[in-house]
Structure 1
Amino acid sequence: MSDRRTGRGPGGPRRPARSSAAARSARPAPVAGATEEARPRPTGRALILVLLLAVLAVSYASSMKAYLQQRAHIAELKQQIDERSESIDDLEREKRRWNDDAYVRAQARARFGYLMPGETAYVVLDEKGKPLETRSQLHDPRQVLREPPEPWWDDAWSSVELAGNPPRDPGTPAAELGAPAE
């Protein structure tokens, strides 16, 4: 039951029907140079989703950094393990050498100068009376001997001449020391 005067009925107020020409005139006219499609505006749900993705990216980035640091640390530790195992192998090889009597004798000779019974040791001394290095290097004789050596007979003949003609004593030693001369 509707009231024809008010236009109200059981479904609520009636709106007058617009014609399609009236509907077209109610829309704003497009501006020159503007696109007809309007940009969609971000909704609250979209902003929350973007924020959530940013937080997840930051948390995964920090976890990834920690993971990469741990992998680098593990690689360093594996390298140290390899170096130490090589060192252990070298030390075990050295230990097996010391179980050999011939190696022990050779080390005693080289390090401490020990001799076997019946052997004679010779020590070469330098001009100051100190022992020369046992591990000296050999050099090219052309580089060591820059002046040709004198023959031994020249040295022997000069000593014979010196014995036959001794040099004259220029003065007594007491005069040289400043003592009164007699």
Structure 2
Amino acid sequence: MADDRRDPRGARRPRGRTGPGRATPGAARAARLAAGRPADAPARRRPRLTGRAAVLVLVLAVLAVSYASSMRAFLHQRSEIAELKAQIAERKAAIDDLEREKKRWQDPAFVQAQARARLRYVMQGETPFVVLRDGEPLTTGARLSDPDDLPEQAPQAWWVDAWESVQVAGHPPKDEPPPAAEIDGTTEQDDEETE
């Protein structure tokens, strides 16, 4: 009875009834012959990439792309966070410097020293000295003119100045020697000629 249930290739036949809904091994052979293949020809191999495998590869590719974009956004955010932390550290250092400067300005001695250095203020009764001309001392004959002693000029209308500038633009002046600086009694030209 065991031999009845085996087909000629040695495979077991399914148990149960055979009927119109079930194919028998002979029917498969007859179908192969009808398809134009010999009965002894081996069955075709299934393709390696099935529909399920293609769907699985497609799903994995979509997941990889979404993961890569999420990873890129994560790395971008981390770099922004690092930059912002650096800015916060710089600003805290600047705030600390400004607070130290504020405390220094609350000291009256520091304020007095800054007024002397920056604004050239002096205390009452002190004599200030201002060094002119790169540290060269002024002679006793030097005089500085008072701005009140300059002759007053009558104001001119704006169109007079505009017309003079048009005339000068058409006929530029010739090179003239620079004005003399008579603070110490000599002119700059004289100093250059003697050297």
State the TM-score, normalized to the length of structure 2: 0.47
Whole-Å separation in 1 of the counterparts to 2:113 and 2:46: 93
| Alpha-carbon shift at residue 116 of structure 1 (Å) | 1.3
Q: Which runs of 5+ in 2 are unaligned?
A: 1-16, 27-38, 137-180, 185-195
Alignment length (residue pairs): 106
Higher relative contact order (CA 8 A, sep 6+): 2
State the TM-score, normalized to the length of structure 1: 0.50
Please say which structure displays the higher CA radius of gyration. Answer: 1
Whole-Å separation in 2 of the counterparts to 1:125 and 1:41: 97
Q: Which runs of 5+ in 1 are unaligned?
A: 1-9, 16-24, 29-37, 131-182
Residue 66 of structure 2: aligned partner: 59
Whole-Å separation in 1 of the counterparts to 2:129 and 2:58: 90
Matched, 1:26 2:33: no
| Alpha-carbon shift at residue 124 of structure 1 (Å) | 2.1
Whole-Å separation in 1 of the counterparts to 2:72 and 2:109: 57
Residue 102 of structure 2: aligned partner: 95
Residue 42 of structure 1: aligned partner: 49
Whole-Å separation in 2 of the counterparts to 1:86 and 1:14: 89
What is the 5 A alignment of 1:30-179? 41-126=48-133, 128=181, 129=183
Whole-Å separation in 1 of the counterparts to 2:106 and 2:65: 62
Q: Residues 55 and 93 of structure 1: is their aligned pair in 2 closer, same or farther, counting only changes over 3 Å?
A: same
> Secondary structure at 2:75's aligned position in 1?
helix
- Superposed CA RMSD in Å reads 3.2
Identical columns (%): 63
